Amino acid sequence: MVLMGGRSAEREISLKSGQAVLKALQELGHEAIALDLTEDLCEKLRETKPDKVFIALHGPYGEDGRVQGLLDILGIPYVGSGILGSSIAMDKDITKKVLSFHGIKVPKWVCIRDEKEELNWDIYPAVVKPADQGSSVGLFVVKDQKEAEEAIKKCFKISKKVMVEEYIEGKDITVGILKERALPPIEIRPRKGVYDYESKYTKGMTEYLFVEDEDLTQKLQEIALLAHKSLELKDLSRVDFRVGKDGTPYLLEVNTIPGLTELSLFPMACKRVGIDFKGLINMLLF
């Protein structure tokens, strides 16, 4: 069974990921069906009694440990990280605290938990984003206090916790982890300069290049794998970095359910090492 859709701002992307996974499972010969995350999800799971669930849900309810907890209660096995790792990685604030404890460098940050809370921040430019969303939903790059405060108000419309983060001038690079193996790093070059929702999901808006520097590749892979293990993750994840102009990697966030659409980076990295999409899905099942 493939769980897809859900209630988050990333619903449309989840549906695309889910359909791609469903097609691959059916072509591999499995009796696979799709199921949306609706209010009667528990009843449907008990009726269908799936052997295993492939969670293709992005964002709240699907990627944050809640649906994982339901599946655990029902005794249904699933692909991916469990409750603990999912819930920690979904909260960018808690993630940074755990990673910092393990010596992983992250950008400076503060979190705002109330719209009326005064912003105590003086590092600009800065990034403002919800602390518990993915796919660059609600991401703003701001140049001063006024812009930051306006962005925070917009973020509170979709989240109860907003992060203000140091903007690192440099390159966006991501590293996938598949079954405890670090995949080749991919540099992301958005044409508009910021890797936002539009740049991620619009064809032609972003250029993707595999990192050729062997030393940087090794460093990023080691950090990504350490982050994956430190957050108690399982099966797969995608670790996003910003590499400063001096070559210092800053870990931005960790995605426990990477996108699996035609434009997604995780399948792209797998293909680089000889794992096609159906091979990837098959590996994740076992």
Say whether 132 is catalytic. no
pLDDT tier, 10 (very low <50, low <70, confident <90, very high otherwise): confident
Candidates 11, 63, 238, 242; catalytic one: 238
Candidates 8, 14, 81, 135; catalytic one: 135
Candidates 18, 62, 80, 259; catalytic one: 259
Say whether 240 is catalytic. yes
238-264 pLDDT tens trace: 999 999 999 999 999 999 999 998 679
Q: What type of residue sits at position 285? A: L
Candidates 14, 81, 136, 255; catalytic one: 255
pLDDT tier, 199 (very low <50, low <70, confident <90, very high otherwise): low
For residues 19 and 70, the answer to whether their CB atoms sit within 8 Å is no
Q: What is the mean pLDDT of residues 231-244?
A: 98
What distance in Å separates the CA atoms of residue 250 and residue 260, rounded to the nearest whole number?
24
55-113 pLDDT tens trace: 999 988 899 999 999 999 999 999 999 999 999 999 999 999 999 999 999 999 999 99
Q: Is the pLDDT of residue 196 over 80?
A: no
Say whether 230 is catalytic. no
pTM for this model (two decimals): 0.93
Specify the pLDDT at position 133: 78
Say whether 282 is catalytic. no
Say whether 255 is catalytic. yes
Candidates 172, 176, 240, 242; catalytic one: 240
pLDDT tier, 21 (very low <50, low <70, confident <90, very high otherwise): very high
Specify the pLDDT at position 134: 67
In order of their start, the domains of the chain are 2-79 (3.40.50.20), 88-106+168-285 (3.30.470.20), 109-166 (3.30.1490.20)
Q: Is the pLDDT of residue 135 over 60?
A: no
Say whether 115 is catalytic. no
The beta strands (E) that lie in the chain are given as 2-4, 34-36, 54-55, 109-112, 126-130, 140-142, 162-166, 170-178, 181-182, 186-190, 206-210, 236-244, 249-255
Candidates 63, 91, 165, 253; catalytic one: 253
Candidates 86, 201, 235, 237; catalytic one: 201
